[in-house]
Amino acid sequence: MKIIMLGAPGAGKGTQAKMIAAQYGIPHISTGDMFRANIKNGTKLGEEAKSYMDQGLLVPDELTVRILLDRVARDDCQNGYVLDGFPRTIPQAEVLDQALTKQGDAIDFAIDIEVQDEAIVKRMSGRRACPSCGATYHIEHVPPKEEGVCDVCKSKLVLRDDDKPETVEKRLRVYHEQTQPLIDYYAARNILQKVDGDVSTQEVFQAILAILG
């Protein structure tokens, strides 16, 4: 079972990807984790990726797909995997499809978690993080015991730059321009499934389980 998670930043696709991975005993693969692992282990692919990242450049699609194929060739991916954060654009999806087709393989499901932009801005701007221990909270859904103070280490909580409304709105614009077209791409291939992400995490998960069977 090979699954791609789609959805805007803050839609909850990372959380759902982890839950799917745990439910089916398959790996949750994010591109960020892949890059970090290859760089940390000093692999040839990692060194190649690092050469771009050190210059502040995006890792080319072709190299990202090579790193991904290297990852999914491992034994733990025999029963499938959940991709989180890739592909982000049509060219990336095409490169991935071509590479999988050469191996006689294909993606089974592309799951799009749909959440309205206004709800995402509200959701993300309510996040608070501890700069000391990394604990995360939400002022509505997972508030700290004492307002503005970390339960774990008592440090002052902060609103990360990534979660500020103006930053979230900018990220959403980029998402709609670059990643939204993937929804049509996978719909045309009859593997797209849409899920309402404006409900609880558990309700989203149950809807996904009903799709995956």
pLDDT tens-digit profile of 76-126?
A: 999 999 999 889 889 889 989 998 999 889 999 999 999 999 999 998 999
Q: What is the pLDDT of residues 119-153, one digit of tens each?
A: 999 989 999 999 999 899 999 889 999 999 999 99
Walk me through the domains of the chain, giving residue ranges and CATH numbers.
Answer: 2-115+179-212 (3.40.50.300)
The pLDDT of residue 75: 93
- CB-based contacts of 18: which residues, under 8 Å, 6+ apart? 28
Residue 36: active-site member: no
Mean pLDDT across the chain: 92
The pLDDT of residue 116: 94
Q: Which of 18, 50, 66, 88 is catalytic?
A: 88
Residue 160: active-site member: yes
pTM: 0.83
| Averaged pLDDT for residues 168-180 | 89
Residue 189: active-site member: no
Q: Which of 2, 13, 71, 123 is catalytic?
A: 13
The pLDDT of residue 33: 86
The pLDDT of residue 141: 86
Q: Which of 18, 50, 171, 194 is catalytic?
A: 171
Q: Which of 160, 170, 173, 189 is catalytic?
A: 160
Residue 128: active-site member: no
The pLDDT of residue 48: 92
Q: Which of 71, 123, 127, 128 is catalytic?
A: 127
Q: What is the pLDDT of residues 177-194, one digit of tens each?
A: 888 899 999 999 999 999
Q: How confident is the model at residue 162 (pLDDT cuts 50, 70, 90)?
A: confident
